[in-house]
Amino acid sequence: MRPTTGILNRAGTTELIAPPARPFNPHRRCASNGIRVVVQEVLKLLGGYEFYYKIRRRKRSTAVQAIYETTVEAIVCDLIWRELEIPGGRVHVTQSNQVLHKRSRYKGVALGKTLPDILKVMAAEEMGFVVITPGQSKYTIKDETLTVAVSGKQTSLAAGRKILRRIEQLGLSLADIGRSPDEETIILRGPKLRDDKPGKHIEYTDTEQTTTHRQQLQVINEWLDQANIECNIPGIDLHDRCLKRIFNNADFTQGGRLYGGFWQRLKHSERLESIILDDDSVVELDYGQVGLLLLYGLEGGKPPEGDLYDLSEYGIPTSCRPGIKKVIQAAINASKPLGRLPKGARKTIPKRILLADILAAVGKRHPLVVHRFGVAVGMQLMFKEADILVGVLLALKDRNISALPIHDAVLVNGNFYEEAQEIMIRVFREKVGLTPEVSVEHP
């Protein structure tokens, strides 16, 4: 392993430290002949090692051999990816039998019970493909898109000398590495047991609904994979474009937002200032007042005219609007009546105005939907919002307008914002029966 990061110690000299490890991605696959050559070389040498040391007493069956080769391919591809991402970079991987021996639609075949034995051979001195550091460090997994999120002590891996040599000799790049077509993109999570920790992944049997979700996402991901996207922020992985839909509370009618894509992890200002889509800067198109509009759609009713967060006729100043919006959104998501103002709401709401005053004013302004507050309808509305966005993306694709989704908004090339705006309004109207406002924000 080649440490590449420096820190200044107390003696005033630079001390080299290894880059942090990230989770092993078992879904990496070859996307070019160049990297296939590397994988085939590794497989051939591993086979010779097994034969010489008599590691196997009998030949693997066809099915087992396929799993073995896929596992080696995933290891090689992810270690090369990590090395190209950060020279000397490592990945960490679980050695837990509880994870490796369990069948799951989420983890793929490469994260199976044979993984530890394969890694031992690949790390043998004669092989030199992998450098293994036994489990010492504890890792906390926070990435929403990870289909295998194991925390605690993990073994870390880095590309060995022979892989490093092949990267240089063949001039390999991230474009040589793809993803498995079998990677699960439809994720079902159980209820949250703690506010700071997502629910556990739940195994499920496919239905017509889940199959449709997956097929739609496959079309969108293939489209995004071909999109002409640039970003001038150093260190951004432009190949990080794979989207997944995450459903919540063990229910495919709750949640379902799109997660993934490097742009979703950028700050709002960074997206607008740094992303180039189809050779021009982007604008952000965003649905306005979507939570309340979806509630009215659920009731089959029509909202009042004007700004839905304006409570000025009931004695709440318009300057309180940001705080009012937070209160309404919290009430929609809450499973019981609000007992206090949500975090950040008091910044724009004076102390003289109580939560009870705001809720009373909201009840007068929105009597048709206020009974939906405090009954945890938020995830149901999120599903509707996500379904609308999927419809928008598919419609934009049909018009050949590249777009990057951000929950209830999209980034598009600024030259096409009017056409994209019209599509967003039309899809919302078709699915909800109401006409939304779609704001446009330029860099």
Over residues 23-34, the pLDDT tens digits come to: 999 999 999 999
Provide the residue type at 52 as one letter.
Answer: Y
In this predicted structure, what is the pLDDT of residue 403? 98
In this predicted structure, what is the pLDDT of residue 5? 43
In this predicted structure, what is the pLDDT of residue 145? 57
Q: How far apart are CA 202 and CA 189, in angstroms?
A: 6
In this predicted structure, what is the pLDDT of residue 57? 82
Checking if the pLDDT of 245 tops 80, the result is yes
Nearest to 374 by CA among 328, 427, 337, 411: 337
Mean per-residue pLDDT for 276-280? 96
State whether residue 421 is helix, strand or coil: helix
157, 90 contact by CB (below 8 A) = yes
Nearest to 3 by CA among 20, 15, 22, 17: 17
In this predicted structure, what is the pLDDT of residue 201? 92
pTM value is: 0.88
* Residue 135 DSSP class: S
In this predicted structure, what is the pLDDT of residue 136? 65
In this predicted structure, what is the pLDDT of residue 443? 86
The H or E element spanning position 38 is helix 33-52
* Residue 55 DSSP class: -
DSSP assignment string, 247-272: E-TT-TTSEEEEE-SGGGGS-HHHHH
Q: How far apart are CA 362 and CA 284, in angstroms?
A: 29
Checking if the pLDDT of 16 tops 70, the result is no
Relative to beta strand 229-231, strand 28-30 is unpaired
User: What are the E-state strand segments in 59-202?
Assistant: 90-93, 130-133, 138-139, 152-153, 155-159, 177-179, 186-188
CA 230 to chain centre: 19
Checking if the pLDDT of 438 tops 60, the result is yes
Sorting pLDDT into bands at 50, 70 and 90, what band is 150? low
121, 50 contact by CB (below 8 A) = yes
Sorting pLDDT into bands at 50, 70 and 90, what band is 4? very low
> For all residues of the chain together, what is the average pLDDT?
91
Based on C-alpha coordinates, what's the Rg of the chain?
25
Sorting pLDDT into bands at 50, 70 and 90, what band is 15? very low
Over residues 47-101, the pLDDT tens digits come to: 999 999 999 888 999 999 999 999 999 999 999 999 999 999 999 998 888 889 9
In this predicted structure, what is the pLDDT of residue 235? 83
Checking if the pLDDT of 7 tops 60, the result is no
240 Cβ contact list (under 8 Å, min separation 6): 260, 261, 262
Q: How far apart are CA 119 and CA 93, in angstroms?
A: 11
Q: How far apart are CA 38 and CA 79, in angstroms?
A: 12
Checking if the pLDDT of 321 tops 80, the result is yes
Q: How far apart are CA 73 and CA 64, in angstroms?
A: 14
Mean per-residue pLDDT for 143-152? 58
Q: How far apart are CA 100 and CA 79, in angstroms?
A: 19
Sorting pLDDT into bands at 50, 70 and 90, what band is 18? low
Mean per-residue pLDDT for 371-388? 97
Between residues 180 and 136, which one has the greater pLDDT? 180
